[in-house]
Structure 1
Amino acid sequence: MLRCLWLRLSGAASVPGPGRASSRCSLLILCVSIRLCAASLGRSPWAEYYGTKSRYEVLSGVSVPGTDWLAPANCTVLQVNALIRHGTRYPTRKNVPRMVEIHQLIREQGDVGSSLVQALAGWHMWYNERMDGNLHPLGISEMVKLAKRLSARFPALFAVQSYKEKRLKFLTSSKHRCVNSTKSFIQGLESYLNLPDQEGGQWEVNDGLMRFFDHCEKFKNLVENNNTALHQVEIFKNGPEMERIMSNMAKKLGISPSAINANMVEATFYLCTYEFILKGVISPWCDLLEEEDVEVLEYLGDLKQYWKRSYGYKINGLSSYRLFQDLFQYMDQTIEESER
C-alpha cells in the first residue's frame, strides 16, 4: 500500500465507573487506506478501474466492508493509528510527456474527417511537468473532510486537550503532495475543534519510515534500479492484449498501428481518468477505449505494482520491517502506560 501520512493518537486510560464492566480494549488500531469500489459506478465510464487515481470523495458516504467496526460498549479506546494515502493529485512529471506525445500524434496524423479526431485535436493540453504529482485542490478538501470524520468517530481521542497537549503525532514523507496532505488534515482537525491555526498541529518528515523503500539498499539494487525486475511487465506490454488495444485505437484514429506504443495507450487512459477526477469531465479521450481495454490496463498497473512493490520479490516486504517494528513498539508502549 502506498502511504503518505501517518497519524498517531493516544488517550489517557479511563477508570471504569459504577456499573461498567472492568474489561476493556487495550488498543484500537485504525488502518486507513484508499481503495476505489463499485460505489463510483455511474459517475464516470469505468470508474471502478481508476484505482489510486480515483475520486476518493466517492467513498466518504459509502459503507465499505471492514470500516464500520466500533469498539464494544465495555471498551475504552486508547489509541488510533492511521496510515493514510495523500489526497487527489495532478499527473506526475513521468506521465505528462506521454500525454503530450499521444495528443501531438493525433493532431499530426489523425483522420481529419473523423469527429473523434477533431474533438481530440481541438482539446486543450493543459497538463504540464511542473504539476509533477502535486496535491490538487480536491485533494486538500478530501483530507480536511477525512480529519473531520475521524474526529467525529473518536471524540474521546480527537479532543481539544489531546491536541493542545500534543498527543497527536503526524509523520509524513518529504513528497510535496504528502506534506500538503498532512497540512490539510491538520487544518480539518483544527477546524473541527474550533482551534486557531497551528496551535498544536506539528508534523515530522520521516522518509526512513514513510518511504522505507528509498532507504533499503538491497531493494534499490534488486528491484528499483534493476532493469530486469519488471521483465514480466514488459512481456505483457508487448503481448496480444496490448496489441489489440493499439490496433483498435489506431483504427478509430485513422493512423498506422505502428505509430502507437504501450506508453501512449496508458497515457490515453490517464487522460480519460484525470479529466474526470480533476475537472469532473467525461472527455473524448474515454471514447478511444472500450471497457475490455480498460480492464487490460488496470491489470497492467496491478502487474507492475505486484513486481515493484508487492509479492513479486521477497525484499519488497522485508523492506517495510522498520515501519511495522516502529508501529508495534508504539502499541506496546501505549499498553504499558495504560496498565501503569
Structure 2
Amino acid sequence: MSHPIRQVVLIMLSLCYGAVMAAINYTAPSLGFNQTFQQSWALYSPYFPVSEYAPPPTGCTITQVNLLQRHGARYPTASVGVSLQQSVAKLQGADLSDDPSLTFLMNFTYALGTDILVPYGAAQSFDAGQVHYTRYASLIDGDILPFVRASSSERVVESALNWTAGFAYASNQLYVPVLSVIISESGNDTLDNNMCPNAGSSDSETSEWLEIFAPDIADRLNMAAPGANLTNSDVLNLMYMCPFETVANEAPSAFCGLFSQGEFNSFEYYEDLKDYYGNGYGQQLGPVQGVGYVNELLARLTGQPVQDETQTNHTLDSSPVTFPLNRTFYADFTHDNEMISIYSAIGLFLQPHALDPSQPNTERTWVDYKLVPFSGRMVTEKLECTVAGETGDYVRILVNDAVQPMEFCGDTGSGVCALGDFVQSQQYARLNGEGDWALCSD
C-alpha cells in the first residue's frame, strides 16, 4: 500500500505544477493523414469519437459522470526506443540507391524522445477537457468541481493537468479543477496494471500472427535495400516509426510511406492480439487487474464505501479527502493496459469467440483504435430516469463516445441499465476476481 505521507506530497506537487500547465491552450492539429489510415495504428492512433455523442434517452437526466481517460500521445518507451533505433540503423546501413521511397534515410537522424508526452498529446487532453466541460457543465458549480486523480507516470500526470486546464479554459476560468490525487505506481494503484506479476503474456499469439504477415514485407524491403537483412521484428519496429514520428512532429512521417494500408491493417490486428491476450479476455489474469477500479466505480455510483481486496489503496479510498463520494464528476487518468483490464472486468467488448492468431475476424468488436487510442476514454454516466411513471437511478457507459451495449445487466437496446442491475452484474469485481487475484502472486 502506498505511504499516506507520500500521497500528500504528490497532491501538493500537483497543485504547484498545474499552474504551469494551465498556460497551454492550443488545439490538437491535423496530422496530415486520412482517418482510416490513422486508425490502422491501433493503440497509437490519435483519439477520435467512434460515434457522435448521443444524449441520454428521453426521460433521463445525467446526475454523475465518471471519466476514465488514457494519457495523450507520447514518445516510445525506453526499451522500444532502443529497438526502433537498431532496426532503423539496419535499414540505413543498406544500399538505398534503387528505391526512391528509401532515400530519405540517407540523411535521417533518429530524434524521438522517451516515455513523455509529445505536444500533440498534451493538446489532446486539453481538447478533452473542453469537450467534457461543454457536455457536462450542468453538473458543475463553484462548490462541486470535478475530482481528478492520476497514476503517477509523468505522461499520465501531465495528461490530467492538461485536461484540467482545458476544462478551466472552456469555462472562461470560472471553474478550475485541480489534480487532487496522484497514485504512486510503486504501490496499490487502480489506475495501473502493476500488481499481478504472475500474469501471462501475449507473446505466443502475437508471434504467430507476425510470422504470417511480416515475412512478405521483410522480403520486399530487403529486395529494395540490399544488405539490410531485416527480420520480422525489424518490420514491426519500422511500422512503429510511422505513428511515433507523426505524433511527435505533427506531420506525416516518411516511414508511413513504406507500407500499404493493408499492411497497416495487419499491424492493427497484431496490437489487437497483444491486448486481448495480454490484459483482456484471452489472459486468465487480465480482467482481474481491472477489478479495483470497477469497485471504486461502484462505490461512487452508489455512494457507499469502497469494498475491494485487490488493487485499491485502502488509506486513500477510506478518506473523504482522497476519495469523496459526494461529487457529480470524477476524472481518472491511466494507461491503455489498465483500461483493457477494466473493459474486460466489466464485460465490455466480449467476443463470441477468442481472437484467432492466424486470421482476423472482420466482425470482431475488439479493435484497438476503438478501445484505447491515444487519449481514449470511457465515460460512465449515472442517470435519473422516469420509466412507466417510476423514477430511479440508471447507468450507461460510453467508450470514445460510442454507447456500449450492456445485455449483461438488462439493457434492451438503449444502452441503459438500472443501477441496481448494473451493480449485481459486476459479481466478478464484487467478489475480488472470484479467486483470480490470489493467483497474481505466489
Q: TM-score range by the shorter chain?
A: 0.7 to 0.9
Structure 2 gap ranges (5+): 1-29, 305-324, 327-383, 385-391, 393-442
- The counterpart of 1:115, out of the listed 100, 107, 118, is 100
**Number of positions where the alignment pairs a residue of Structure 1 with one of Structure 2:** 276
Whether the aligned pair in 1 keeps the contact of 2:149 and 2:179 (CA below 8 Å) is no
1:49-75 deviation line (CA, Å, top 9, x unaligned): 01221232xx3xx6x33x522235644
Aligned-partner SS, 1:160 = coil
Please tell me whether Structure 1 or Structure 2 has the larger radius of gyration of its CA atoms: 1
Residue 97 of structure 1, CA deviation: 1.6
Whether the aligned pair in 2 keeps the contact of 1:89 and 1:135 (CA below 8 Å) is yes
Q: Which residue of structure 2 lines up, in the alignment, with residue 273 of structure 1? A: 243
Q: Which residue of structure 1 lines up, in the alignment, with residue 144 of structure 2? A: 162
Q: Does 1:214 align with 2:194?
A: yes
**Equivalents in 1 of 2:193, 2:252: separation in Å?**
36
**Equivalents in 2 of 1:277, 1:200: separation in Å?**
28
Q: Which residue of structure 2 lines up, in the alignment, with residue 8 of structure 1? A: none
Q: Does 1:174 align with 2:152?
A: yes
**Equivalents in 2 of 1:317, 1:45: separation in Å?**
29
Tell me: CA distance 1:44–1:279, structure 2 relative to 1, closer, same or farther (3 Å): farther
What do you get for the CA RMSD once the two structures are aligned?
A: 2.9
**Equivalents in 1 of 2:59, 2:291: separation in Å?**
33
Q: Does 1:97 align with 2:87?
A: no
Q: Which residue of structure 1 lines up, in the alignment, with residue 216 of structure 2? A: 244
Whether the aligned pair in 1 keeps the contact of 2:84 and 2:241 (CA below 8 Å) is yes
**Equivalents in 2 of 1:93, 1:245: separation in Å?**
26
**Equivalents in 1 of 2:260, 2:181: separation in Å?**
44
More helix by share: 1
**Equivalents in 2 of 1:292, 1:221: separation in Å?**
36
Whether the aligned pair in 1 keeps the contact of 2:150 and 2:182 (CA below 8 Å) is yes
**Equivalents in 2 of 1:40, 1:126: separation in Å?**
18
- The counterpart of 2:66, out of the listed 81, 90, 105, is 81
TM-score by length of 1: 0.72
Residue 42 of structure 1, CA deviation: 5.0
Tell me: CA distance 1:188–1:123, structure 2 relative to 1, closer, same or farther (3 Å): same
Q: Which residue of structure 1 lines up, in the alignment, with residue 266 of structure 2? A: 296
Q: Which residue of structure 2 lines up, in the alignment, with residue 32 of structure 1? A: none
Tell me: CA distance 1:162–1:302, structure 2 relative to 1, closer, same or farther (3 Å): same
Residue 113 of structure 1, CA deviation: 4.3
More displaced 10-residue stretch of structure 1: 175-184 or 200-209: 200-209
**Equivalents in 2 of 1:40, 1:311: separation in Å?**
33
Whether the aligned pair in 2 keeps the contact of 1:44 and 1:282 (CA below 8 Å) is no
**Equivalents in 2 of 1:103, 1:317: separation in Å?**
36
**Equivalents in 1 of 2:270, 2:57: separation in Å?**
42
1:101-148 deviation line (CA, Å, top 9, x unaligned): 122112222233443332222122212xxx322111112211112111
1:234-267 deviation line (CA, Å, top 9, x unaligned): 2333x242211111111122336xx212221112
Q: Percent identity?
A: 18
- The counterpart of 1:184, out of the listed 158, 162, 182, is 162
Aligned-partner SS, 1:178 = helix
Tell me: CA distance 1:52–1:241, structure 2 relative to 1, closer, same or farther (3 Å): closer
Which protein, 1 or 2, shows the higher relative CO under an 8 Å CA cutoff with sep ≥ 6? 2
- The counterpart of 2:40, out of the listed 39, 45, 49, is 49
Equivalent AA in structure 2 for residue 141 of structure 1:
A
Whether the aligned pair in 1 keeps the contact of 2:280 and 2:286 (CA below 8 Å) is yes
More strand by share: 2
**Equivalents in 1 of 2:239, 2:191: separation in Å?**
27
Whether the aligned pair in 1 keeps the contact of 2:98 and 2:224 (CA below 8 Å) is no
Equivalent AA in structure 2 for residue 221 of structure 1:
N
Equivalent AA in structure 2 for residue 178 of structure 1:
V
Q: Which residue of structure 2 lines up, in the alignment, with residue 135 of structure 1? A: 117
Residue 149 of structure 1, CA deviation: 1.2
Residue 93 of structure 1, CA deviation: 1.2
Whether the aligned pair in 2 keeps the contact of 1:144 and 1:187 (CA below 8 Å) is yes
Residue 273 of structure 1, CA deviation: 1.8
TM-score by length of 2: 0.56
Q: Which residue of structure 1 lines up, in the alignment, with residue 256 of structure 2? A: 286
